[in-house]
Chains A and B, each alone.
Chain A
Amino acid sequence: MLRNAIAVIKILTFITLLFTSFKSFSASVMALDYGYSKIDYEPMSAKNVTPMGPGFGVSIGTRNGLVGTEFYYRNLTASGDYIHDSVTGQFEHKQSSFGAGVQVYLTKQLFLRFGYGFSRIEQTNQTLQESYRNQQIASTYGLIDKSTGSGPNYGIGYNFFDGKRWDVFALFNRDHIYDGATEMRVSVGIKFYFKLGLRSAFTK
């Protein structure tokens, strides 16, 4: 209950920040990125099982000088090897995440980001054996079966060219995706800046 309340407070804080930013923004931003993620999920990582794999993300937002905002969607498919009852197998981790965040620019190009997101996760065993053994594997590794988690995320990013119309950026991000699970992600992408902002759109 307390955890949910804290989550709601965080979401409200972000929404407030976003609207504060909208009041005086100067540009809208759309970004596409492609990255590589590593999943640390306690029941798995305790046995050195760490699903890793590629994923893509899209986001839209605003930037006003040293402050930016974003709404994002990310998709990820990762895999990790395990050894159970002397059989080597593989887990698949599928994840779709969405959320919102703010970016704080330390320089024109270097920024920190903080956000809060929701992740839909499905972990499956790709190396099926007898049903009773599959149940043991699912239990031992705490496989998440189509469940949704949420949590804060934070990262550090860099816009390589300080472009006015577009830029290439790199982002290192850490995301709390589920109870006991975090995603560490390195990605590169391209972002486009539009002079027409949301405020203008609303007033026209």
Chain B
Amino acid sequence: MHLPNKLLALFLVSFIGFGCVKDPIPTTSSFPVSAGDIVIANETSDAVYLLDSDGNLKSVVYNHINTENASGVTYANGKIYLTVDGVDRILAYDIYTSEVTTAIQHPQLSGTLRGLTVLSNGDMLIIESNNMERFNSSFERVTAGGWPKTNIMSTPTHVNNLSDGGFVACSTGTKEIRLYDEDGNQTASASSPGAGATNPYDCIELSDGRIAAVWNGTADTVVIYSSDLSSVELSYSDTSVIGDPRSIAQAANGNLLIADYTLDLLVELTTGGTYVRTLGDTVLNNASTVIVIPSGI
């Protein structure tokens, strides 16, 4: 075999061995929590459950001791934050490692803890009795700029962030839904949408900027407002379907999930007010707060 032929053979062997390289097949992480999962606090069982988007139980995020109450849940930056009313504190559940740590435990955070949220600037708001406490992203208590907001409402139940940096809060004592800017200045409010819709337990901003809320009473009602609360765009009430709404979230598919405290289930409605299905009815126990893990985790 002549030298050129030898080199050609070497080249051929190399080509066969190295020339057929395919593009990498994309892989994805498999974390305990996925986008679209549902996190729900159960008041009676003192536990926070993680459900998949179809309402099947995936795991128990945290099981409080019997004298403590899992009252509020929110998600931010890879953590599910829980308010614990008992030995009052905020727990952080790492969605990547399942590790639970204490994020905040402060002597001034000692009243009745309910809802909480993380604003777009990283600050955390926590409802404590009739007050709104604020902690910065380093979990240091904010005491400037009029914070904490004492008596912000009577018995505020839930607070949720807004895409403009502000927040929306609702109260079963004041019986209003209110919008606030990022500094805590009230910018709008809405009272009962009709007879029998008495107590606004939860209120959130939808992906299109509108505000959705659940009103509890003899006429349990789900309401979608315009983004400034100036008009009611949808009102849904059917007590055979929803009997004791306490919390609302927007599912990954855009539909509404309403936590029913008495029926122990989640009701899924379209934003057009059409009943879709119920979820989680085999595992929930006085569901008081529901959130959905957003995309992009």
Q: Residues of A at under 8 Å CB distance from B?
A: 36, 38, 46-50, 52, 80-86, 88, 130, 132-133, 136-137, 140-141, 158, 160, 170, 172, 184, 186, 188
**In the complex with contacts A38-B18, A48-B22, A132-B97 CB distance below 8 A:** yes
A136 in contact with B29 (CB, 8 Å): yes
Taking CB as reference atom, which chain A residue is nearest B11?
A186
Taking CB as reference atom, which chain A residue is nearest B13?
A172
A146 shortest CB reach to chain B, Å? 23
B18 CB contact (under 8 Å) in A36, A47, A83: A36
A81 in contact with B24 (CB, 8 Å): yes
Report Cα–Cα, A186/B26, bound state, in Å.
29
B24 in contact with A158 (CB, 8 Å): no
A82 CB contact (under 8 Å) in B21, B24, B29: B24
- The residues of B that contact A49 with a CB separation of less than 8 Å are 24
Helix, strand, loop or mixed for chain B's interface? loop
28 contacts between A and B (CB under 8 A): A36-B14, A36-B18, A38-B17, A48-B23, A48-B25, A52-B21, A81-B24, A82-B24, A82-B27, A83-B25, A83-B26, A130-B96, A132-B31, A132-B96, A133-B96, A136-B29, A136-B30, A140-B29, A158-B10, A160-B3, A160-B6, A170-B6, A170-B10, A172-B10, A172-B13, A184-B18, A186-B13, A186-B17
Taking CB as reference atom, which chain A residue is nearest B297?
A85
A85 shortest CB reach to chain B, Å? 5
B19 shortest CB reach to chain A, Å? 10
Report Cα–Cα, A86/B96, bound state, in Å.
17
Report Cα–Cα, A174/B46, bound state, in Å.
60
What's the tally of chain B residues with a CB closer than 8 Å to chain A?
22
Report Cα–Cα, A80/B25, bound state, in Å.
12
Asked if B253 lies at the interface with its beta carbon under 8 angstroms from chain A, I say no
Query: Which 10 pairs across A and B sit closest by C-beta, in order of nearness?
Result: A132-B96, A136-B29, A83-B26, A47-B25, A48-B22, A186-B14, A170-B10, A83-B24, A84-B27, A48-B24
19 new A-B pairs (CB below 8 Å) besides A52-B18, A133-B96? A36-B18, A38-B18, A46-B25, A47-B24, A82-B27, A83-B25, A83-B27, A84-B27, A84-B28, A85-B28, A85-B29, A88-B24, A132-B29, A132-B94, A132-B97, A172-B10, A172-B13, A184-B18, A186-B13
Taking CB as reference atom, which chain B residue is nearest A87?
B26
Taking CB as reference atom, which chain A residue is nearest B3?
A160
B163 shortest CB reach to chain A, Å? 24
B158 shortest CB reach to chain A, Å? 29
Taking CB as reference atom, which chain B residue is nearest A129?
B29
